[in-house]
Amino acid sequence: DGGITQSPKYLFRKEGQNVTLSCEQNLNHDAMYWYRQDPGQGLRLIYYSQIVNDFQKGDIAEGYSVSREKKESFPLTVTSAQKNPTAFYLCASSIGPPLSTYEQYFGPGTRLTVT
């Protein structure tokens, strides 16, 4: 069963703690992305990666970090420097280069709540 998995579905953290969101894909896609979705807002790009060991900042990278040590995995760390971390986080992947006509496939999302 191919696809993108994100875990956990719900995550609760205290303010000041770093937290890592998992994203795994078995679609053999080269490109992977992290987006943030807030109520009443469009999705905003946090980071993207074209290949292993390479990643680029998106529009709202401050307070976030990523790694791409394996093709299948693109974890996102929300650091204590992120001012408003509570949001719905979506991971996506595509077979070809980012920002092209290649379709992006999204994971089920992780809802992070920081109190």
Partner 1 sequence: KNQVEQSPQSLIILEGKNCTLQCNYTVSPFSNLRWYKQDTGRGPVSLTIMTFSENTKSNGRYTATLDADTKQSSLHITASQLSDSASYICVVSGIPQGGSEKLVFGKGTKLTVNP
Binding site for partner 1 (CB under 8 A): 4, 40-45, 59, 88, 90, 92, 99-101, 103-109, 111
| Positive/negative CA dihedral, 3, 71, 95, 20 | positive
- Give least dist CB 83 to partner 1, A: 21
Peptide bond into 85 cis (omega under 30): no
Question: By C-beta, is 84 or 101 nearer to partner 1?
Answer: 101
Residue 99 CB, nearest approach to partner 1 (Å): 5
Looking from the CA of 112 toward its CB, the CA atoms found within 13 Å total 28
* CB closer to partner 1, 61 vs 79: 61
